[in-house]
Amino acid sequence: MDGSCPFCRAIQARIEQYDTGHRLSFIDYNDPAVAARSPFPRARLDEEMHVLAADGSWHGGYFGWVAVLSELPRLAWLGRLMGVAPIRWLGPGIYRWIARHRYRIPGFPAPCHTDSCAIPAGISSPSSTKMRT
């Protein structure tokens, strides 16, 4: 995840509320050690979320969210629904639209362009977050 993105941190905080079994960890790809372990170039990490599943497979963007939601007992139904045609055909386009417009979506924080941005209450700092399924 992009730990410097207020939208990403807000989504992380919302998802963590459903992760009662602590099945997910979030890691910030801005950490040089994390970026060095990633099989993806920085530009691709900037474009979409990436998920490393327990079986070692990688899922990006929309399908990353399918993987994440499928791991959460209270939201697994949504992950299964998102994997069914025609939703899975439309999902990647919807994901890209949300990614491009994430700072215009009501109820989410505006972009942060400085290192001094405050992290909203209840959201972990980027250095303390990890992501895996």
Residue 41 vs residue 113, higher pLDDT:
41
Question: What distance in Å separates the CA atoms of residue 20 and residue 82, rounded to the nearest whole number?
Answer: 21
Any idea of the CA torsion for 116, 122, 124, 129, to the nearest 10 degrees? -150
Q: How far apart are CA 6 and CA 108, in angstroms?
A: 8
Is the model's pLDDT at 72 over the cut of 60? yes
Quick one: pLDDT at residue 7?
Answer: 85
The residue ranking higher by pLDDT, 120 or 87, is 87
Q: What is the pLDDT of residues 32-52, one digit of tens each?
A: 998 888 899 988 988 899 999
User: What average pLDDT is seen over the chain?
Assistant: 83
pLDDT of residue 16 exceeding 60: yes
Q: Is the pLDDT of residue 19 over 90?
A: yes
Task: Report the alpha-carbon distance of residue 67 to residue 22 in Å, rounded.
Answer: 15
Q: Which of 28-32, 61-65, 90-94, 123-127 has the lowest mean pLDDT?
A: 123-127
- ∠5-10-16 over CA atoms, to 5°? 125
